[in-house]
Structure 1
Amino acid sequence: MTRITPDAVRVVRAELLRLAVVFAAAAGLSLTLGMMFPVQFALDTGGYRDTAARSHAPIEAVADAEHHLATQLPGERSMMISEFATDAAAHGDRFGPVSLWVLLGSHPDPELTLMPDATRVAGAAREPGDLGDWADISADLAAALAVGPGDDISIGLTPTTDVTLRVRGIYAVREAGYAGAAILPVDAIERHAPHVETAPTSLVTTASPDRVREMLTGSPWREALLAIGYPEPFAVSDVGDLLTTREGESFIDLSLVLTLSGIAVAALLAIVVGETIALVRTFRDRAEILVELGAPPAGIYRTLLLGLAATTALGVGAGAAVGTLAYAPGFAGPALPPSVSAVWWLAAVACVAAGTGTAVVATRIQRKKVLA
């Protein structure tokens, strides 16, 4: 009798195998296709949403700039940058336009850029104070030039000067108006191209736009900006407003993103639940035979339940994992943003839970019918 109970799985082994294949295919296709638009939306908006900066403003070089920022914006994180449009090259190919942010100062803070760590999809976590020969790049740029962490990339500084650096990290972000983006420390330029001028052009800070605007109208910033012909009032951008604008400019709106991803997850759930119920119903006649042979009904259905739970977890998990590979070569997008990845795996876990829960209810019902 003890050997009969495992037959509860053995007699539906072919059906369980088919079920695993169906779940894997459903999970892979549903998540890959259903998340394509959410991925693009996250790429378009992620940098603006996750950056620590609240304000972006014009700035001009002054003596003791870091000291002035620390005293005039106390308690805030601030960084001056030199930003301009350029291009990049690797393996003999060039790609652009690329937005380049050169991080200035003795303690650059990448979290104030559009490449915060929350958007990192490849490469090691940043080490504080790392002023080495590195560049962090966007996923679009990495995909276009087929480079990854540790590879070399050449970034144009002038029409005749490139600097070749090591790719440190890849980030699932996009900056409006550019095909790619990159950030690097000014120290790398000073080591490899000291003749290239890297004067500050912008300020990014956690301070509010009103505080930054008030600071810029005082000394020494006002005089420096007026000296280069910058008109008053000085334009200070609210990063929150930039995010709203970027969401509006994205080729797909948030409501459609939520609708499509919701449909994809609902479809996958429906397949998992429906197929589980169908298999349990199919098992009824075979269960009756096993009971007649002396197998305990509780043991039969307990074993079937374990088999269904394992099959659901294996099938959905494998399908979800295979689906993520669509973003590795750039078929469905240049990268799977962390925000979408979290939803992706939560959906997979929800489907496994739903399938297991359905199996519990269905096996209890069928067990009662067999014993009736």
Structure 2
Amino acid sequence: MESSDTCVPERFEQLEVKMRNYQICNRCVMDTTDRAIVFDVKGVCDHCNTFEAKVKPNWHTDQRGERKLRQLVNTIKASGKGKDFDCIIGMSGGIDSSYLTYIATEFGLRPLVFHVDAGWNSQIAVNNIEKLIDNLGLDLFTEVIDWQEIRDLQLAYFKSGVPHIDTPQDHAFFATMYKFAEKHDIKYILTGANLSTECIRNPIEWMYYQSDSIQLRDIHSKFGTRPLVNYPVTSILRHKIWLPYVKGIKVVRPLNMVEYDKAAAVKLLTEKFGWQPYPQKHFESRFTRFYEGYWLPKKFGFDTRKVQYASLIVTGQMTREDALEKLKTPALDDRTVKQEFEYVANKLEISVAELEGYMDAPNKTYRDYKSQESIYTLGAKVMKALGLELGGKR
């Protein structure tokens, strides 16, 4: 989920920890569980207002977007002449990366499908990847992350008390793909990150930047028990400056240049390839399912469905009424929670009691550990000033 790394809001300064009266946006479903949220006199949140004022006017999926995409495709094809592949697509088995893979082949690209196995793949994700690869005649490269090292790092994040315990998995995804592209001189990485389903961003308090290697190493140094020898580590400066401007490796988001309706994409992939949908975005990973479906809302009060539904609401793919109705029911029922809790504990080789102990321990934030937040803030301002980043607020 690297899209979370790309934007810092102008409004986001030091958050006040004092309590405030509960309020929910009159247009979407974002509310004061995002402690930095701001409402206008009509009760509409700044996430929605930012989308209308800054994202929507500059986001083109009509003929302008198609022309831009075709130009990009021609450039990618030219860069790949004489090579087995002209680009890399990181695939998780989720809807965004799956639909991107289909679109790429429709435009005549020759992608290498790149999958990172961090030990938490659901069987549905495995099946979805296989079905697309087989039907589209593509090659798949799978990088398996050292399990004992990522296990130790994930436990360190649990012990740290921060909300963003999915960082070890996401960080490994990005770092591994960038390393592969650099090693094999592949100039384009295609990502399923998009505005259609992700124009509203998770607040930074909910999900801190996954590529912050300073924080990752600080948390591991305090709570880890073994050195990170094989675990891949990247940094914001590496993938925002070194790779694109020195090595010429670019990360592009083709789904922002085409009409991308999530429901229509699910229908197409299901009918054409036998692809299976998930109950919720990001549930292709068993760990992310547990983390977003239970751990975040239970321990911190952060329900990522609000962000996901808000994106679909402002882009006209979901009604606010439907979103509110869905939010009345927890993402995971009690029986599933019990099963997943036991599964995660067993997978991490700890007792259920130990995992419950992490749940009950004091909550921390990213500010309790070393970070590169100032670099992200400065970088976002520069990218926005240069028109290189649309994205919603964080």
Structure with greater Cα Rg: 1
Whether TM exceeds 0.5 here: the answer is no
Report 1 or 2 for greater relative contact order, CA contacts < 8 Å, sequence distance ≥ 6.
1
TM-score, normalised with respect to structure 1: 0.24
TM-score, normalised with respect to structure 2: 0.23
Structure with higher strand content: 1
